Structure formats: structure tokens, C-alpha cells
Amino acid sequence: MKIVGAEYTGNGHCRFTVWAPEKERMVLHLVQPEDRLVEMDRATWGYFTVELDNLYPGARYFYRPEGEKDYPDPASYYQPEGVHGPSEVIDHASHLWRDTSWQNLPLQDLVLYELHVGTFTPEGTFEAIIPRLEELKETGINALELMPVAQFPGDRNWGYDGTYPYAVQQSYGGPEGLKKLVDACHAQGIAVFLDVVYNHLGPEGNYLEQYGPYFTDKYKTPWGKAINFDGPYSDGVREYFSNNPLYWLEHYHLDGLRLDAIHMIFDQSATSIWELMRSKVQDITQQMHRPFYLIAESNLNAPRVVQKTELGGYGFDAQWLDDFHHALYVLLDKAGLKFYEDYGKMEQLAKAFAEGFVHSGEFVKFRKRTFGASSAGVPGDCFVAFTQNHDQVGNRIEGERLTQLVGFERLKLAAAALLVSPYIPMLFMGEEYGEEAPFLYFVSHSDKELVKAVQKGRKEEFANYKWEGDPPDPQAEQTFKKSKLNWEQRGQGKHALLRDWYQALIGLRRREPALSNYNKADVQVQTLGQEGLVLLRQDRIDDQEVLCLFNFSEQTIPFSMPQSSTTWHKLLYSKDQQWLEQEGAEAAPAEETLTAGQHIELPALAVLLYSNYTSM
């Protein structure tokens, strides 16, 4: 592995390496603790190197391609003065890790929790998250998924405008802050995933083209120039990005990555970037004797994303399942049909439960073509399902969460549908207690023309997607502040009740063998017209079955229990007194046990879970 950046090896020794294949000269410009210029040696494959003694962590520097103008290190590990300032030498070995016994968690056991560092706490830092870990763990959450923390312009951003894939955002607490958070998470038994962006880099502070052909005009993305993974001089680019997962594993002890929009990464090489990345990850995880997971965001609806590379697949461990969200959301909020015109049928939710992809070769109006392939044979633990995430919330014009869109009973339905699904569940920060603050799109660029372009582009994007009105100004600090969580809500009234509902569902998922079985052959689904749905989860090893009855309508639905010799025992019921929002409201009764063929009335907006035996 070719290590780029400023590698501090101890005792005042530092090796600087930068890739610039078309440059004849490279000068290292040290600006702190003293100002001096050092000529670098041109090595093979377009790399320049120099080794210095009597140089210690905290030293700051630029590079001068062809000896002309200062630019930050493309592989900077830290940008303490922002995207335009000097890079800083850091000592990764100086952190005293306490997680030496940590072995990561099985992918199948994860309950993911996506969070944005800047809005999760008033302080907006890594260390400010640590005091809240215990409450998250009590709820049943055992894996954080951090939105991107690679250095971005200013101090507020979703993170997808990052320009330094190896540097940790300085306003969040920099490298040491992230390491402290990971250490604290592991001490609590919580895994840590990081969202990374390999399909483009943000415009402000993006100086990669000053060094080499990192980008290509051969392909296009909606957000900026496409990365050059298969053109001239692409070897150095492939090395730069394929080594990045190893960096996060080795130096930050992360447990996995979520890769943003992989469908916007283009590569026609004989050995794809995915094969290269997977091969490197396998090598290092075998050496370290613990797994490291790669999860893809993909809108391809293609099973090959999670197929092994040796079979022609991309080799990801799992991928996000947007179809599950879309199929469920429009049944909870009828207004959603305006934006998700290809959804709205109960059969589609049934298909999402049983197979995964809803669109698997059918004609899709939104795409104006047939789209997708069947995922019926793909195991459930190859998918991450959710009812909310940063995109589904933040790309609404007012950033409304599901809490603002539907009532309390529908929130309980959404939580139950997610947590009894045969997929790895992911919550969006605050979802578990019904956070009411919006999650809006925000930036803090210093380039005035870029700010205008972002404001204009945001308005045009919403106009194209049939939204009415103008979105809040993404550059305004108030837009960012409005998006911060009101953490104190989680212990109050209906918010505490919803939190307890999530906790109960996660507890059931862990206790009941049928609910932790990812074999889709053991999933059966039946629709009850366009009003409800019956989901049967089975575990053949323990001979257990869990029957999940959903009524998404405002009318009662008659139902007859399956014909078998089974006696069904109630596990959880959303209309029991303890789960009612209004104190003193009258509960709709449900039998504690039911027998084969017995007729029941499923109340409006209710979910009822039964098991053929109890594991309590």
C-alpha cells in the first residue's frame, strides 16, 4: 500500500509523500514552526517524497506543484485552519486506545443509528455525543452511522461537500475527537460506521486538479466532476481512494463504511475499483482478525451490488433499501403519492417485506423505463432498511420528519414495520422519540458566487420535484440551528412513550428467533385488501413463528387466524393501554391467546404481534 500524506513515524521523523504524475517538481513549504522550503524527490509512478528529521506533530505545511503556488496536501490528515489553510502533521500513534479487546459486532445483530455530528448536540462535536451513548444503548441501538466528517468548507455542512477524504472536520473536534468517540462507543458495545463520499468532491477547497488528473470529463455526476477511476493516470487515483477504507480502520478503529451513491462511480477497468477495494479490505481484516463492513447506497436496484466480486458482483456486505421506505411511507402519508407516484399499493409493501426491491423489472413512471432486477434470492441481511434518513427528511422543502407528517399511531406502525422486517434496521437520529425539529439542508461556504449557485440550485431542484414555495436559505446559520435535536424531548410525554415503543420492538427483535432470521424463504406475506397486511416470520431451527398484523386504514379489519394446531400468544399490541398517547384513552382489547381459525377484529391504525410460543 502506497502511503500518501505526512506520515509521522516517531522521534521527530516524518515522511511526506504526494502524487503528481504530470509535474516535474514538487516543493514542500513548511510554515510552522518555521518557514522554509524543501525540494522533494521524484520517485516512481508519479510520487514525490521527502523525509525530514527534527519535525514534530503540529507542524503545518503546504505543497508547491512546480514550485509555484501553495496548496494543502490532497491526503491531508488534518486541516485545522479549514479547507484553504495549511495541512498539519499528526501522530496517529499518540492516541492510547482502550478498545484492544473489541472485535466488532456481527452485521446481523446491528441496529444502526444515523446521526449528523453538528446537529446531534448543542455543541456539535464528537465528544459531546459521548454522554448520550448510554441512553442510545438502553434503547437498543448498537451501531452509530456518522454522516460524512471529511473536512468541508466552514463549520456547518451535511458533509457531502467534503474535499479532504483523509482529514477529519476540525469544527467537530478533529482526529483526536473522533478517536475518543470511537473508543467510548466500543466501551459501550457500540460499533461505529462512517459515511464516505468517493463519487465526487465538493467545489470549495478542492485543489486535487492542481496535482494530477483526479477527475474526468468522460462521465458526469449531479454534484461535480466524476472521479477518474479508469482513464489515463488513474492508477494513483485508484490507490488514493481504495486505501481510504484501510486508513479509517487502522487509525480510527472504525467498524465499517457506508459509501455514498455508488451508482455515480464509473469504472470500466478490468479490475474494478470495487474488486480492488474489497481485496485490500479482506487482506487487512484477516491480519487484524475482525470484520470491517462496506455498505452501499445505490439506486440501481441491482443484486450484483452485494454479490461477491469473484462472481462479478461489487462485493458490498449490504446496501440501503430505499424501496422499503417508499412503499411504507406512502401508506402512512397519502400526501406522499404526489412525490412517489410509482408507489401506493399494499402489494408493493408486501413485496418489499418478502423480496426487497419493489421495482424489479417493471416500468417505472419516474424513470420513464423498466427498472431493476429481482432481489428475492438475496438474504435479508444484505439490506439496510429505514423509515427515515438524512435524504428522505432533508430533501423535503421544510425538512419535515415523519413526526410532522403523520400522527402518533402511524409513527408506531412505521417503527413496527421496520423492526419486524427481515432487514438490518437503521434509525435516523431523534426518530426513536419523535423529534420535532426539522433536518434542513445547510452549508457555510466562503465563496459568495458559490453560495448564490447553491441557493439557486436548491430552488430549481425543488421546483423539478413538484415542491411549492422556496426552501430555507442553506447558507443562513439559522437554518442550521433549527436542525439541532431537542434531546430533552426523549424523556417527556408522548416522546418518552415512543422511545419505549422502539425499545420494546428492538427487544423483541433480539429475543424472538423468528424476528432475527434473515432467510427470506421463511418470510410469508398476505395483503388484507389495500388496508392491511399480514407478515409471518419463521425460524425453522427453533420452530418459532411470529405473526405480525398491520392495519394501515382508519377502519377495523376482520381477520381469521391461520389454520394450524398452534396456540398464539400475544407479544405486543399498539392499542394496549400502556402505548396510548392520550392518558386515560380507552384501549381496544386484544386476546392474550388465540387459537387456529379464531376470528378477530384488527382496530384502525394498529399493529398486533403474536407468537406460537414465548421465549420469555
| Per-residue DSSP letter, 260 | S
The DSSP bridge partners found for residue 294 are 257
Q: What are phi and psi of 366, to 5 degrees?
A: -60, -35
- Classify 246 as helix, strand or coil: helix
Asked if residue 616 has pLDDT above 80, the reply is no
Q: Any catalytic annotation for residue 542?
A: no
Tell me which CATH homologous superfamily contains domain 112-433+440-502: Glycosidases (3.20.20.80)
- Classify 106 as helix, strand or coil: coil
All CATH 2.60.40.10 domain ranges of the chain, comma separated, are 5-94
CA distances to 122, 202, 320, 404, 614 from 386, rounded to whole Å, are 26, 27, 8, 17, 27
How far apart, in whole angstroms, are the C-alpha atoms of residue 56 and residue 499? 48
All CATH 3.20.20.80 domain ranges of the chain, comma separated, are 112-433+440-502
Model pLDDT for residues 265-297, shown as the tens digit of each residue: 999 999 999 999 999 999 999 988 899 999 999
Asked if residue 583 has pLDDT above 80, the reply is no
Nine-digit cell string for 503: 425499545
Asked if residue 97 has pLDDT above 70, the reply is yes
How far apart, in whole angstroms, are the C-alpha atoms of residue 387 and residue 428? 8
Single-letter amino acid, residue 23: K
pLDDT value for 596: 83
Asked if residue 465 has pLDDT above 70, the reply is no
pLDDT value for 563: 79
pLDDT category, 457, cuts 50, 70, 90? Answer: confident
In the chain, what are the helix, strand and coil shares in percent, each to the nearest 5? 30, 25, 45
All CATH 2.60.40.1180 domain ranges of the chain, comma separated, are 515-611
Number of other CB atoms surrounding residue 36 within 10 Å: 10
The angle, 0 to 180 degrees and rounded to 10, between the axes of the packed helices 273-288 and 244-252 is: 20
Q: Given CA atoms 500, 323, 524, 313 in this order, what sign does their dihedral have? A: negative
With CA atoms as reference, report the closest residue to 403 among 507, 498, 502, 504: 498
Asked if residue 56 has pLDDT above 70, the reply is yes
On average, the pLDDT of the chain sits at 95
pLDDT category, 7, cuts 50, 70, 90? Answer: very high
Nine-digit cell string for 415: 417503527
pLDDT value for 339: 87
Model pLDDT for residues 166-223, shown as the tens digit of each residue: 999 999 999 999 999 999 999 999 999 999 999 999 999 999 999 999 999 999 999 9
> Binding site: what residues are annotated?
258-263, 322-326, 390-395
> Binding site for substrate: what residues are annotated?
258-263, 322-326, 390-395
Pairing of strands 424-428, 383-385: parallel
Model pLDDT for residues 325-384, shown as the tens digit of each residue: 999 999 999 999 988 999 999 999 999 999 999 999 999 999 999 999 999 999 999 999
Single-letter amino acid, residue 288: M
- Please state which of the ranges 179-183, 286-290, 478-482, 560-564 shows the lowest mean pLDDT: 560-564
The DSSP bridge partners found for residue 38 are 28
Q: Are 578 and 507 in contact (CB under 8 A)?
A: no
Q: Any catalytic annotation for residue 66?
A: no
Residue among 114, 204, 230, 260 flagged as catalytic: 260
Nine-digit cell string for 537: 416470520
CATH topology for 5-94 is Immunoglobulin-like (2.60.40)
- Is the pTM here over 0.95, yes or no? yes
Asked if residue 575 has pLDDT above 50, the reply is yes
Model pLDDT for residues 535-547, shown as the tens digit of each residue: 999 998 888 999 9
Asked if residue 588 has pLDDT above 80, the reply is no
Class of domain 515-611: mainly beta
**Section 104-115 average pLDDT:** 98
pLDDT category, 584, cuts 50, 70, 90? Answer: low
Residue among 114, 195, 230, 297 flagged as catalytic: 297
Share of the chain above pLDDT 90, in %: 88
